[in-house]
Amino acid sequence: MTRHTDDDGDAGDANGTNERGDDPVAERAATDGGVESASGGAESATGGTDSTELDPDAYDPVDVFPGGDLDLREGADSCYKCTSCDTSCPVAEVDDEFPGPKFQGPEQWRLKRKEDHDIDESITSCSNCMRCDDACPSSVPLSQMHNEARGQYVERQMEKLSVEYIRNRILANYRTSASLASKFPRTASFAMNFGPARWAMEKVMGIPKERDFPEFATETFREWWKARGGAKVENPDKRVAYFHGCYSNYNTPEVGKAMVRVYEHFGYEVMVPPQKCSGTPMFANGMLDDARRHAETNVENLVEAIGQGADVIASCTSCSMSLRQEYPELFDLHGIEDLAEHTFEALEYLRIHEDLEGELDAAGGLDDERAFAYHAPCHARNQGLSRQAVETFRDVDGVTMEDVGDSCSGISGTYGWKEEKYEKSMEIGEEMFEHMEDAEGEVGMTECPTCAMQMEHGTGYEIEHPLQLLEDALGA
Amino acid sequence: MAINSDVLVVGGGLAAVAAAVSAAREGADVRLVSHKASTLRQASGLIDALGYVPATEPAKPLRDGPPTAGRNLDPDEWPDPEGPLADPFEGIDRLPESHPYRVVGGDALRDGLDLFDDLAGDAYRGGHTERNALVPTFGGAVKPTARYPAAAEAGLASDDRPMLVVGFRSLTEYDARAFAGRLEAAGVPFDVAGAEVEFAEAFRADAKITRVAKALDHDEEIDGVPAREALAKAVAPHLHDVVDESGGVDRVERVGFPAFLGDDEGDEVREELADRLGADVFEIPMGPPSLPGLRLEDRLFDALDAEGVRFETGNPVVGVESASDGRVETVAVDRNGRTTPYGADAFVLATGGLVGKGLDSDREGVREPVFDLHVDQPEDRYEWFVDDAFGDQPYARFGVRPDERCRPADAEGNVQYQNVFAAGGVVGGADAAREKSASGVSLATGIVAGRQAATEASQ
């Protein structure tokens, strides 16, 4: 078994059972077999680059569309202004100044066809919760339109030296800060939440002092995975590639560990390919170039794993949303559609492929009674997953699982981390806080790391991930 | 392996909920799968059963010769619909034989309405009688309806207390004075005045209805004054706007607002306003975006949860995955281009009509896209409609044709699948827009389809 370290210092290996060289380029060449057809076919669309040399500039989403922009005309035409999107928008509900998803999407798209129209600044108030997508009866690609518009606004109209731009860029590139912080987790956890430092951050950077920075784990998930010696189960017929995302790597490795143990319990060989940020916070801040750079790494490595027979699973619903929907909407990369089709949320995948209920039944439930207040993240909703945790655990002995309703938590990734949005973020979340307080359980549950921050922030509850409960219930 | 249940309901509206709950109450393990957020949120929140019996024959015989879309021909003339009906049930016999009410019977409608009363609880009124209520809608029309939100109660047209209707300049689709004028013209038995007040102006010009509702829910401060107080203050000067026939001035006893008086805290908002104004307060149901529809959606989905129905929204059912011997075994649910099989012993199709996209149409024909069920339709596209826009439009009755157990028939009239049942807008035979029967058809067919599916699944 050989292992290598990838170029930015993370321990990274797709899985312990594959023989590989230590040189990243040689490794790609050696494993390209699985993705050859995908990369070969897309050469012309991406400027004819050699698939073994990824040149970020050669992967421009607009290359395939004449005229330079994504052609969203068909989507704009489908909008018949029924306003379903506006009534489901959590931001429009609390923000007078926000004209709503219908304006930000199809209407703004039409306006900006004319060269002399700038993108309206209000696009930066869209939190990218993507509820409008789910609400639209005509399948107008609203969030795609918003992402596009936001990207253009940031690229063309935003002052690159402004505090707002720099703050957003730092927030969007959470992975970078987290990667640094995780080198000195205890110091970082302390320093980031040190009162005077927070005061300064608010004054200088616009990061609300009310927020507590998440603690950094003393051992990241990838460090744990490496120390553990990778996968404990080898199974060429049942493989999954785990997209852990930044948060379960740097902050809550217990979620990633639960995922590994649960999947191994069902006989899966778990692969942990090298990966970067899914891009969600970057989309939400209009940093599409940053997002694309990260997507290139992710698509390349995950497609390779798919070539080895794996499906891709994520424990964070925003990560799975990104790989499934936003990637193919925004970028044109080798195998990106293939990745979208092979990506699942971790619990969703088990419910489809295993007799989860039977297994939970056989395991006999929990030894102690535990009650949870469950919040479904917006990005889980959009994937049809808003009820799966409630359903999965409803019949498990010892578990009380209460759905706290369909309100948005309000934090929406980086949105609630901006001083000017903080109060709105808390107003949106108020309904969820109230319902959590009303619920029997004193422990919260959600799939989304930032929803979890908001839940904790608003109620003081400890928050768990469904995979952790699943691990306990299965005795995995 | 597939995701399995006894009964799988496809759809998320009123018919789907009725079917899911009634199947669950028969003891079936039920799952509901809906593609998008429910279309209930675009509905008025009123539950109609049957308000009118429209004519199915023109006043004069239809013109002869090949249909030509009627250019240069006199439009066909149609008699006015019969109604508004005081009793929805007595009109059923005069509907066409193929109407869903005739197929499943009036008792199914009664059972459906009972089920609704049970699920809606104290949020709805009208269940004490079989008669229709007359509820003013925001166009100034008066709609015969079987059940109405408690929030609309004080506005009933059969009530003779003087009424003030409040409007806001920034709500352009809603003109209170025109509304009052139209009510008077309709001959309502009370004096009514409309007044435009300044309140919504505190919000941006095109503020969302949900924004105003939230502000009232939380009693947010508007320019330093709590929202409910600010609204009452804006309305108060108009409490004596009503002038009766003899020129006397009456203090109004009830005040109507567009339906934005809070979402979660609606009852409390209305009570506080009523207190401050010394008059009953009611909401006038509006078109989309519809808070009464949103509230009903919330209530019905909570009911699904309470009944133990499993549900998920966000992914569409795109077709039959396996079928044999006239039975469907699994359907395919699309998850981002990859399909997942969902198995069940029986299926209920409640995906809606042309607007809800349960039916799909192009120049070639009208199709039901999930099970590819037969949709009865004239071969010639020009026979899909008649010239008079208010006539008996054939396309309005397009849909699958059910038997008395709500199983759709194929082109020959035979049951297409033994274990597939249909309910709601996807069922043909009703002209719901002219009849004011959409909710009733959903409830009546929903309850039959749900029960029959549960029976089929238990065999």
- What is the spatial distance between Cα B437 and Cα B144, in angstroms, rounded to a whole number? 10
Among A86, A341, A431, beta carbon nearest to B336: A341
- Put simply, whether A93 touches B (Cβ < 8 Å) is yes
Fold match between A24-37+53-157 and A221-353? no
Contacts 24+ apart (CB under 8 A), A204-209: A204/A163, A205/A163, A205/A166, A205/A167, A205/A170, A206/A163, A206/A164, A206/A167, A206/A418, A206/A419, A206/A420, A207/A167, A207/A171, A207/A417, A207/A418, A207/A419, A208/A416, A208/A417, A208/A418, A208/A419, A208/A422
How many contacts does A have with B, using Cβ atoms within 8 A?
106
Q: Residue A67 pLDDT > 60, yes or no?
A: no
Answer yes or no: is pLDDT of A41 > 50: no
Mean of the pLDDT values across residues B35-42? 83
Nearest to B440 by CA among B131, B145, B12, B151: B145
pLDDT for residue B140: 79
CB proximity B312 to A under 8 Å: yes
A343, A355, A391: residue with CB nearest B310: A391
| Distances in whole angstroms, Cα of residue A281 to Cα of each of A277, A313, A322, A370, A419 | 9, 19, 10, 33, 16
DSSP state of A382: T
Is the pLDDT assigned to residue A23 strictly greater than 80? no
Q: Which one, of A349, A295, A289, A285, lies nearest residue A317 by Cα?
A: A349
Comparing CB atoms, the residue among B33, B206, B290 nearest residue A99 is B206
- The architecture that CATH gives domain A24-37+53-157 is Orthogonal Bundle (1.10)
Q: How far apart are the C-alpha atoms of A202 and A196, rounded to whole Å?
A: 10
Report phi then psi at A302, rounded to 5.
-75, -35
pLDDT at B169: 79
Q: Which residue has the higher pLDDT, B211 or B442?
A: B442
Q: Is the pLDDT of residue A38 over 60?
A: no
Report the mean per-residue pLDDT for chain B: 91
Instruction: State which fold the A221-353 domain adopts.
Output: Glutathione S-transferase Yfyf (Class Pi); Chain A, domain 2 (1.20.1050)
Residues of chain B positioned with their CB less than 8 A from the CB of A84: 37, 41-42, 288-289
What is the pLDDT averaged over residues B107-134? 96
The three-class DSSP label of residue B113 is helix
B44 interfacial to chain A (CB closer than 8 Å): no
CA distance A268 to chain B (A): 16
pLDDT the model gives residue B69: 52
Minimal-distance CA residue of chain A relative to B341? A352
Q: How far is A229 from chain B (nearest CA, A)?
A: 31
Closest CA to B277 of B351, B195, B342, B394: B195
CA–CA separation, A430 vs A434, rounded Å? 6
At A131 the pLDDT is: 93
**Which positions ≥6 away from A49 have C-beta within 8 Å?**
A43, A55, A58
B37 contacts A384? CB cut-off 8 A? no
Pair of tokens at residue B98: 């193929």
Q: Identify which has the larger pLDDT, B206 or B211.
A: B211
Which range among A102-106, A327-331, B150-154, B168-172 shows the weakest confidence by mean pLDDT? Answer: B168-172
Averaged pLDDT for residues A62-79: 66
pLDDT, average across residues A109-133: 88
Q: A43 CB near a chain B CB, below 8 Å?
A: no
Over the stretch A227-281, which tens digit does the pLDDT of each residue have? Answer: 999 999 999 999 999 999 999 999 999 999 999 999 999 999 999 999 999 999 9
- CA-wise closest residue to B408 among B395, B423, B397, B394: B423
Q: Do B264 and A82 touch (CB under 8 A)?
A: no
pLDDT (tens digit per residue) in B157-171: 999 999 999 988 777
Residue A28: pLDDT over 60: no
Find the Cα–Cα–Cα–Cα dihedral B355, B359, B361, B365, rounded to 10°.
Answer: -140
Candidate from B204, B209, B314 with C-beta closest to A134: B314
**Residue A126 with chain B: CB contacts under 8 Å:** none
Query: Residue B41: its chain A contacts at CB < 8 A?
Result: 84, 87-88, 135
- DSSP single-letter state for residue B270: H
Query: Which pLDDT belongs to residue B32?
Result: 97
DSSP state, residue A219: S
H helix runs in B29-143, sequence order: 100-104, 106-120
Above 80 in pLDDT, residue A36?
A: no
At B187 the three-state DSSP class reads coil
Confidence of residue B64 (pLDDT cuts 50, 70, 90): low
Q: Which residues on neighbouring strands pair with residue B149, listed in sequence order?
A: B124
Question: What are the pLDDT digits (tens) for A207-229?
Answer: 898 888 888 999 999 999 999 99
Which pairs count as long-range contacts for B244-249, CB under 8 Å and 24+ apart, including other chains?
B244/B162, B244/B191, B245/B191
Give the pLDDT mean for B362-378: 93
Compute the half-sphere exposure of residue B131: CA atoms within 13 Å on the CB side of its CA.
5
Q: Does B455 touch chain A (CB under 8 A)?
A: no
- Tell me what pLDDT residue A2 has: 39
Q: Give the model's pLDDT for residue B436.
A: 96
Q: Which residue among B315, B337, B356 sits closest to A340, beta carbon to beta carbon?
A: B337
Tell me what pLDDT residue B443 has: 98
| Closest Cβ opposite residue A83 in set B211, B289, B311 | B289
What pLDDT does residue B76 have? 67
Mean pLDDT of all residues in A163-172: 90
Maximum distance among all Cα pairs of chain A, rounded to whole angstroms: 66
Q: Is the pLDDT of residue A68 over 60?
A: no
- Residue B360's nearest CA partner among B352, B349, B350, B368 is B368
Average pLDDT over residues A187-203: 82
Query: Cβ of B41 and A135 within 8 Å?
Result: yes
Cα gap B257→B284, rounded to integer Å: 6
CB contact under 8 A, A84 and B335: no
- State pTM to two decimals: 0.87
Give the number of residues written for chain B.
Answer: 459
> Using 50, 70 and 90 to split pLDDT, how confident is the model at B37?
confident
Q: In a 3-state reduction of DSSP, which class is residue B158?
A: coil
**What is the crossing angle of helices B266-277 and B209-217, to 10°?**
70
Please judge whether B208 and A100 are an interchain contact, meaning their C-beta atoms are less than 8 angstroms apart. yes
Dihedral, CA of residue A8, residue A14, residue A18 and residue A23, to nearest 10: -20
Confidence of residue B135 (pLDDT cuts 50, 70, 90): very high
Strand partners for B9: B32, B348
Nearest by CB: A387 against B1, B290, B312: B312
Q: How confident is the model at residue A100 (pLDDT cuts 50, 70, 90)?
A: very high
Of A96-105, A344-353, B195-204, the poorest mean pLDDT is in B195-204
Measured CA to CA, the distance from residue B157 to residue B136 in angstroms comes to 7
Cβ–Cβ gap B1/A92 under 8 Å: no
Q: What is the pLDDT of residue A203?
A: 83
CA separation for the pair A430, A404 (Å, rounded): 12
Mean of the pLDDT values across residues B282-294? 88
B56 Cα to chain A: minimum distance (Å) = 31
Closest CA to A364 of A447, A285, A259, A473: A473
Query: DSSP string of A5-63?
Result: E-TTS-EEBS-TTS---SSHHHHHHHHGGGGHHHHHHTTGGGTS--TTS--GGG--GGG
What rounded mean pLDDT belongs to chain A?
85
**Short-list B347, B367, B368, B370, CA closest to B420:** B347
More confident residue, A111 or B205: A111
Minimum-distance CB partner of B1 among A86, A355, A387: A355
Cβ contacts of A81 within 8 Å, gap of 6 or more: A102
pLDDT of residue A69: 55
Most confident of B51-60, B190-199, B217-226, B438-447: B438-447
- Across A56-60, A152-156, B181-185, least confident range: A56-60
Domain assignments of chain A as residue spans, ordered by start: 24-37+53-157, 163-205, 221-353, 364-474
Across residues B53-80, what is the average pLDDT? 68
Question: A94 and B356 in contact by Cβ < 8 A?
Answer: no
| CB A381 within 8 Å of CB A134 | yes
Interior angle at CA A45, CA A43 and CA A48, nearest 5 = 40
Long-range CB pairs of B329-336 (<8 Å, 24+ gap) are B330/B2, B331/B8, B331/B10, B331/B370, B331/B371, B333/A384, B333/B3, B333/B33, B335/A344, B335/A383, B335/A384, B336/A324, B336/A325, B336/A340, B336/A341, B336/A343, B336/A383
Is pLDDT above 60 for A88? yes
Tell me which range, A460-469, B236-245, B332-341, is most confidently predicted by mean pLDDT.
A460-469
User: What pLDDT is recorded for position A19?
Assistant: 40
Please state, in angstroms and rounded to a whole number, the distance separating the CA atoms of residues A437 and B37.
Answer: 26
pLDDT in the model for residue A12:
39
Answer whether residue A35 shows pLDDT above 80.
no
Please tell me which residue of chain A has the smallest CA distance to B214: A93
Q: Report yes or no: B334 at the A interface, CB cutoff 8 Å.
A: no
Separation in Å, CA A287 to CA A172, A173, B30, B322, B447: 8, 9, 44, 45, 51
**Which residues of chain A have a CB within 8 Å of the CB of B218?**
427, 430
| Residue A467 phi, psi (nearest 5) | -65, -30
Architecture field, domain A364-474? 3-Layer(aba) Sandwich (3.40)
Percent of chain A with pLDDT over 90: 63
